[in-house]
Structure 1
Amino acid sequence: MDDSVENDWTEDSEAAETAHATSTEHRPAWQSVLLVLTCTLAMILSTASSVGLTIFYPVIGSDLAVREELLQWLASAFSLSSGCFLLLFGRLADLYGRKKLYVGGTLYLGILHLGCGFARNATTLFVLRGLQGLGAAAFIPACIGILAHAFPPSRARSVAFATFSAGAPLGGAVGTQIGAVLTQYTKSSWRSSFYLLAGISLLCAIGGLLLIDADLPSTEPNRRVDWIGAFLVTVGLVFVVFALSEGSLASKGWKTGYIIALLIVGVLFITLFIGWQHHLEKRQSEPDNRRPPPLMKLSMWRRAKGKFAVVQVIAFLQWSSFLTWSFWSQLYYENYVKLSPVHTAVRLLPMTVAGLACNVFVMFVVSRMPLVVLISSGTLLASLAGLLFAIIQPSAPYWAYGFPSAILSVCGADFVFASGTLFIAKVSLPHEQSLAGGLFQTLTRVGTAFGLAISTIAFDAIASKSESEAGAPLEAYKAAQWTAFGFAMFCTLLAVVFLRGVGPVGTDERRKDGDLEDSPGNETVAVEGEKELEA
């Protein structure tokens, strides 16, 4: 191992350990609990803002005269902006302060939620939804870095990350169940939900100011920001995700000229970004180097013998599956079965309960169960949710298809998020925690838009053949759910093939310090210039 690399790692590790010791020694237990709850509330806010609001999209469509096929933009616009800026904001959080990004992001999101509540036309609402994503892009990677800094590898860290992950199903409940009640029983209808989220945003900001540890200076010797890389990746992602989201809605579909052009230009920008990152990383070892460090080290993807990359790809595809199931199941209930928002929310309520149960389960087993078992079992169960809706019979009782599907749908997302974030934190350097978390979140956000785009193609392919004026046929909703099934099954295949041998990613405090061996065939942590899991 190169001496300079080893020294850099040692200095970063010692600084991180000192910071951990100082923060945990002087923080009372009640403050640690409130810190975790503050970050969890931010996750609730992000999820409710992103996917929880889909319950009243049909009401918005009716109120503001938005066509059904355009409703996906209310979700995709948020995911587009948040997914495209997570890397940059994750890097800024690591460099200039995670607390600053957290407080600023939550306040910003709250202000725009108020704006959405007062929006009087669809164009204004679409623009505000797109701008909202920047707030979540600021505070979600900051949360991951905050928790990784506040809790060194221990049982407490596993509990903290599992609790943080539980914010996702709770956010779905806030947006779906509470949103449905507010939409149906308040005078302001769907606007009331935006007002509620504005209040939650303010509460998050206050909690962050009072409870999050003060930002410490970055331990990196080179603290410059790779603005060229940030520009390339952001523009590339915007073009690609926009083209994916708009392709099926354009006048000539995927054959539309500007859709093809945006896809090509987007891929070109991302390719240039990868090449630029390789160039910057290669130059970092030169003594007279004056260039900034890369926004994203390409070597990160090779960590843990490539398993870092596999976990990221699984996160991307699993969110494609989960958001596809969630979006089209709600439209099925409201537009095909003709249920009210409240009745739809009741049918989706088991998702919240199952999601909380999944995160509690992960909390107890993440330090004992191999990562491959956690992820493959979660994604396999999630695939069954899509399968049940793909073969659903409207005449059958809710308990036959809808209820088990709602329970199974969250297994993949919650198992992958909780164990995946722990894995990412475990193989990342101390000064990379928010960036690595931002990368993980970037792929989940882009996966959201990707899943909605592909499932919309499947939906439209069937719906376009129907001559009925009563709405899309049942087969169109089933086609969309088949894509959810396919995404989740592919995740299962990836996990089984490429994650074999990875041991538990949580830390069991019952083990002796330094004893990292789990069982025969599992992996242990090693440092070879970068934190890796080696078989």
Structure 2
Amino acid sequence: MSVLRAVLIVASCTLAMMVNNVNQTSVSIALPTMAVEFGVTESDLTWVVSAYPLSAGCLLLMFGRVADLYGRKRVYSFGALWLAVFTLGASFANNAMTLDILRGIQGVGAAATIPASLGILAHSFPPSRARTIAFATFAAGAPIGGALGTVVGGVMVQLTKKTWRSLFYLNTGLTVASLAMGLYAIDKDLPSVETDQRIDLAGTFLATAGLVLIVFVLTQGELAPQQWKTPYIIALLITGVIFIVLFLFWQHYLERQMDSARPQSKWKPPPLMRLSLWTRANGRVAVVMTIAFLNWCCFQGWCYWSQLYYQNYQGLTPILTVVRLVPMFISGVICNTIVAFVAGRVPFIYFMVSGTALTSTASLLFALINPSATYWAFGFPASVLSVIGADFVFAAGTLFIAKASLHHEQSVAGAVFQTMTQLGTSFGVTISTVVYDRVLSARASDYGTDSLNAPKPAQLDAYQSAAWSDFAFGIFGKCLHISPALYGF
């Protein structure tokens, strides 16, 4: 293909990744403004943040399989169009409930575009330096999108007449741009090489239902009437785990049937996800997936609490909060540029080791933060290191998964990797929130008050404890690097 066509393919897929991250990060900084306009508390807007990653993360696997079977460009175009329509629709919401629902529907588009993008890049660029650059550029879409959502989001919320609605106008425009470039540049879909193109509906139901229930519980556990002791929280968590276990057994059964010499039954379609994917490259795939999960627990937990620390503890405006997070954008771009040019020359293990170490260090800095100290002592290095670590793991991980996957399962493999990072986001924020709430309640009682009226020292202890929990996730991920499976790659 021509250089221009190659650039446009990478640009369209990268823009899709950017849009996904803008949609996830931009609303967080707008919550105080939304709460005032809707006349509700910020806790009532939990699903404005959570509904999008819930649907986007839980449907990735299904859309990855559909993309591999029926065409990645088709699925990409459908997802981008869907996302543009419902992103624009969200800008007209007049109450929190309507916005919650639209955010959930909006995430379906991202669930389609992201795995399709990974499959498109893997198909368009065979193993080469060009593929390394393409995947590193795609990975750069995550920090750029996250920074764009935070930086531009904070400015637009504070300075534009439409406040938070301006965010959805921006996201709509970016999505339309990615759709237009994709329609022009991405190659026409080729027929699938698989002889049996049926979709495993039972597996799709089990995986989607299980993930939805688990992520829902992770999101709502702290907000339920009796928190984690609430009966419906316990019941839904158990049901979700059962669905996932049944899904894994069903996939194992279907894969064995496919690999056997017996005639294929009409009731036994190809598996949605081959469990053998996890054992590829002598088990390295499973280790890389787990490291990505734990690293995202650490990274997204840090992102969540750093914004709350600056706005709620230090009382900074959205723009001043944004200024303190700008280094993430710069270091993210530099990091992925480095990956693009040295990934083929530096052993894979170095990126994974340094990535988890750097992300963990960012959380450690906030666990030890001194509010009276200058921003340059704790806040600045944390912003720089957090995104470098996350990008090293993400870029190296996606390259590795693409290399370890078969040609006809690139979108599914990418979807599994993305699902692990999405689950890491939910799990990390949930566990650190539990830690924050428990410490805040205990420290507030020491001062003879409740959590809502906790004094500054109690709040600081709670923020630092949440950061310690994020740090623990990162260190646990780093410990996995001693696995012999990772070495020799």
Q: Same fold, TM exceeding 0.5? A: yes
Structure 2 match to 1:19: none
Structure 2 residue 72 is the aligned partner of structure 1 residue 98: yes
1:450-493: CA deviation from partner (whole Å, max 9, x where unpaired)? 11111110111122232265567111111211111111111111
Structure 2 residue 22 is the aligned partner of structure 1 residue 36: no
Distance 2:207 2:77 in 1: 25
Counterpart among 315, 323, 326 of residue 303 in structure 2 = 326
Amino acid at match of 2:482: V
Amino acid at match of 2:252: H
Structure 1 match to 2:194: 220
Structure 2 match to 1:58: 32
Structure 1 match to 2:148: 174
Structure 1 residue 449 displacement after superposition? 1.0
Runs (5+) with no aligned partner, structure 1:
1-26, 504-535
Shift in alpha-carbon separation, 1:399–1:76, aligned structure 2, 3 A: same
Structure 2 residue 248 is the aligned partner of structure 1 residue 262: no
Structure 2 match to 1:463: 440
Counterpart among 469, 480, 502 of residue 466 in structure 2 = 480
Structure 1 match to 2:389: 412
Distance 1:278 1:87 in 2: 16
Matches within 5 A, 1:361-510: 361-465=338-442, 466=444, 467=449, 469-470=452-453, 473-503=459-489
Structure 1 residue 66 displacement after superposition? 4.0
Shift in alpha-carbon separation, 1:497–1:370, aligned structure 2, 3 A: same
Structure 1 residue 500 displacement after superposition? 4.0
> Does the 8 Å contact 1:371/1:499 carry over to 2?
no
Structure 2 match to 1:3: none
Structure 1 residue 498 displacement after superposition? 4.2
Structure 2 residue 97 is the aligned partner of structure 1 residue 123: yes
Amino acid at match of 2:478: T
Structure 1 residue 214 displacement after superposition? 0.4
Structure 1 residue 219 displacement after superposition? 0.3
Distance 1:282 1:434 in 2: 22
Q: Give percent identity, aligned residues only.
A: 53
- What secondary structure does 1:51 align onto? helix
Matches within 5 A, 1:193-232: 193-232=167-206
Distance 1:445 1:355 in 2: 19
Distance 1:66 1:436 in 2: 41
Structure 2 residue 320 is the aligned partner of structure 1 residue 343: yes
Structure 2 residue 335 is the aligned partner of structure 1 residue 358: yes
Amino acid at match of 1:203: A
1:149-177: CA deviation from partner (whole Å, max 9, x where unpaired)? 00000000000000111111110122111
> Does the 8 Å contact 2:282/2:485 carry over to 1?
no
- What secondary structure does 1:373 align onto? helix
Amino acid at match of 1:437: G
> Does the 8 Å contact 1:379/1:411 carry over to 2?
no
Shift in alpha-carbon separation, 1:60–1:340, aligned structure 2, 3 A: same
Structure 1 residue 67 displacement after superposition? 3.2
Structure 1 residue 497 displacement after superposition? 2.8
Matches within 5 A, 1:173-322: 173-284=147-258, 285-290=260-265, 291-322=268-299
Structure 1 residue 88 displacement after superposition? 0.4
Shift in alpha-carbon separation, 1:129–1:498, aligned structure 2, 3 A: farther
Structure 2 residue 112 is the aligned partner of structure 1 residue 135: no
> Does the 8 Å contact 1:372/1:496 carry over to 2?
no
- What secondary structure does 2:188 align onto? coil
Runs (5+) with no aligned partner, structure 2:
none
The structure carrying a bigger helix percent of its residues is 2
> Does the 8 Å contact 1:179/1:193 carry over to 2?
yes
- What secondary structure does 1:489 align onto? helix
CA-atom RMSD in angstroms: 1.4
> Does the 8 Å contact 2:45/2:96 carry over to 1?
no
1:346-401: CA deviation from partner (whole Å, max 9, x where unpaired)? 00000000111111111122111111111111110110100111111111111011
Amino acid at match of 1:389: F
Moved more, 140-149 or 494-503: 494-503
TM-score, with length taken from structure 2:
0.95
Structure 1 residue 192 displacement after superposition? 0.3
> Does the 8 Å contact 1:47/1:171 carry over to 2?
yes
Distance 2:359 2:415 in 1: 24
Distance 2:99 2:339 in 1: 37
> Does the 8 Å contact 2:287/2:486 carry over to 1?
no
1:86-105: CA deviation from partner (whole Å, max 9, x where unpaired)? 00000000000111111111
Moved more, 110-119 or 436-445: 110-119
Distance 2:222 2:319 in 1: 30
- What secondary structure does 2:48 align onto? helix
> Does the 8 Å contact 2:283/2:485 carry over to 1?
no
Amino acid at match of 2:224: A
Distance 1:502 1:128 in 2: 47
Distance 1:70 1:391 in 2: 31
Distance 1:88 1:498 in 2: 32
